[in-house]
Amino acid sequence: MNPLLTLLQINDSVFPIGSFTHSYGLETYIHKGIVHDSATAKTYAANMLRHNVFYNDAAFFAKAWQLCESKFSKAKLLALDRLVSSYKSPYEIRQASKKLGIRFLKVVDKFGAPRRCKIYLEAIQKGEAGGHYPIAFAMYAQAQEITYSDALSAFYYNTLNGMVTNCAKLVPISQMDGQQILFSLQGLINELVEQQNNMDEDMLGNCCVAQDVRCMQHEKLYTRIYIS
């Protein structure tokens, strides 16, 4: 198998896991007029990457990758899963991570996923684990001879691309503005990937209060397009 093509496939926006149905609180930001044009969309995306994703999903990705590089065990996997669940306070965010994670594991299972992925899928189905997308993505990518830097960069990019796509639909912003945001934030992604392994351990799961509140408020919006 070609590691690059595998990474492109699992990171594609049309990979069938349902990520397009989630905005992770962005819909509330737009509803309240906080994100309302290209400039505020870019600011929102940059802040989310730097102050939320870096300490949460990207950090969980890194933890899962390290778990696979060491002596893997189901007990360690379940402990990491419980830790991630404890950091995802808003209900919609926990559910989004679970839905994407289990769908990802079901799809890659058809590709001959490694045993660790099958163990995780079975644990989720039995109720032993909550299930989380960053863990599933990292475990599968690590087994495909994809480099850590490439896999984590792709994970950040996919997260950013989801934000920009949602902004294009909801604000709306133009496709060209969206592409300019994606291009302009490449440097930030590179910076965050380089810093990831040096992140202060005490900052793991650092709460981004505003986003958590917007996610909780999303549950009560009168009209909404996205699940989260």
pTM over 0.75: yes
Residue 159 has pLDDT above 90, yes or no: yes
Please tell me the distance from the alpha carbon of residue 30 to that of residue 40, in angstroms, as a whole number. 10
- At the top level of CATH, the class of 3-218 is mainly alpha
* pLDDT for residue 221 is more than 90: no
Q: Cα(48)–Cα(185) distance, rounded to whole angstroms? A: 12
The string of DSSP codes covering 52-76 is IITTTHHHHHHHHHHHHHS---HHH
Q: Where are the domains of the chain?
A: 3-218
pLDDT in tens, 95-154: 999 999 999 999 999 999 999 999 999 999 999 999 999 999 999 999 999 999 999 999
According to the model, what pLDDT value does residue 208 have?
A: 83
Contacts of 196 (CB under 8 A, 6+ apart): 54, 58, 59, 62, 152
Q: Which residue has the tokens 């995780």?
A: 120
What are 62-96's pLDDT values in tens digits? 999 999 999 899 999 999 999 999 999 899 989 99
| pLDDT per residue as tens digits for the range 12-68 | 988 999 888 899 999 999 999 999 999 999 999 999 999 999 999 999 999 999 999
